[in-house]
Structure 1
Amino acid sequence: MSGSSAGHLHAYLAGSGRDGQGRLAADVLAFSDEELEAVHDYIQWLFPLTTRSAAQPHAPVLTQGEIDAIRADPRAAETLRKAEERIRRFYRNTAWWLTPYDHNHLRITRILHSLKLLAAPEDAQRFYRAILQLHEEAGSPVNRRSLRFWAQAAGEATP
């Protein structure tokens, strides 16, 4: 990660920083379901990881210092909680992702990894159980590979 992006993710999740498009986290959390589906550059900011995104290679990458700062900051923790809640609502409200293959399957894997890393394993497991329930209620349309990735990301037994 370049020095210019150090601290950007913490500031963004704490509510004072803006993403690469100039949006606050609150702006993204106010997106409609259609916007959440169509816009592809917000997920790396709301649910960052320590690895570079193949889909958005210019998105910042977490450092250990930022992970520690985000975990210690109640404002960042609150944004993560709101982001998880909003994205869970998005998946509950929509069926676009309930197909064998969909870009949202990658997003779900990212969200699970990020929650486990920045919030708590229990938060990732709660999100995983909610997604799995929606999947099962829809007749289990998601491919087994995605299901395995989700289980591993959440720290659950592989289906």
Structure 2
Amino acid sequence: MTKGRNEVAKKDWTWTSAGPIHAFLACQEQDGSGRTLADVLDFDNARLEREHDFIQWCFPLREPSRAVPGSPVLGEAEAEAIRRDSLAQSGLLAARVRMMRFYVQTKGWLTAFDHNHLRITRILTSLRDLAGLEAAQDFYDGILSLNEAAGSPVNPESLEYWRKAVKD
């Protein structure tokens, strides 16, 4: 039997991930605490500040987290899958937008030393490696503008880590 002109052949697309971080960023699976990316993006600012185990999922790196032992570590195959997957890229960039909004709306990190300085280094490094230098540079420029508008309270060492994350 042949298909009529108006019939569409259905294709059975099976989505597969290269790993748990990829699946999380592509909104296909939960993180290690049972949250989806949408759940994390819906956190209010107080919860983003208080919780410390989401950032490793939203902005993965190739080295283990010293702040949250047991967090996932990004392998090269999974990194490449994230770079090539438009769903994972959308998830990563949505996390970037949410974190920038957090930094715009909160001021506690605008001090000499704060745990958010480490988060910013992670975000910049992950964006550079997974979304490209332009995505990292945009975030970096926004963070520097916020720091400058606050009278430049962030310590020079953190600023140098951020610069290196984007420039190296």
TM-score tier by shorter-chain length is over 0.9
Q: How does 1:77-92 map to 2 (within 5 A)?
A: 77-92=89-104
1:115 correspondence with 2:127: yes
| TM-score, length basis structure 1 | 0.93
Render the CA deviation track for 1:93-151: whole Å, top value 9, x for unaligned.
Answer: 00010000000000000000000011011110110000000000000000000000000
Structure 2 segments unaligned to the other structure (5+ residues): 1-17
Render the CA deviation track for 1:4-60: whole Å, top value 9, x for unaligned.
Answer: xx7000000010111110000110000001100000100000000000000112011
Question: Which consecutive aligned stretches of 4+ in structure 1 deviate over 3 angstroms post-superposition?
Answer: none
**For 1:151 and 1:62, how far apart are their aligned partners in 2?**
22
**CA RMSD, 1 decimal:** 0.9
Which of 66, 69, 74 is residue 81 of structure 2 equivalent to?
69
| TM-score, length basis structure 2 | 0.88
Please report how far the alpha carbon of residue 154 of structure 1 lies from its aligned counterpart in structure 2 after TM superposition: 1.1
1:18 correspondence with 2:30: yes
**For 1:85 and 1:154, how far apart are their aligned partners in 2?**
17
Please report how far the alpha carbon of residue 153 of structure 1 lies from its aligned counterpart in structure 2 after TM superposition: 0.3
**For 1:26 and 1:154, how far apart are their aligned partners in 2?**
27
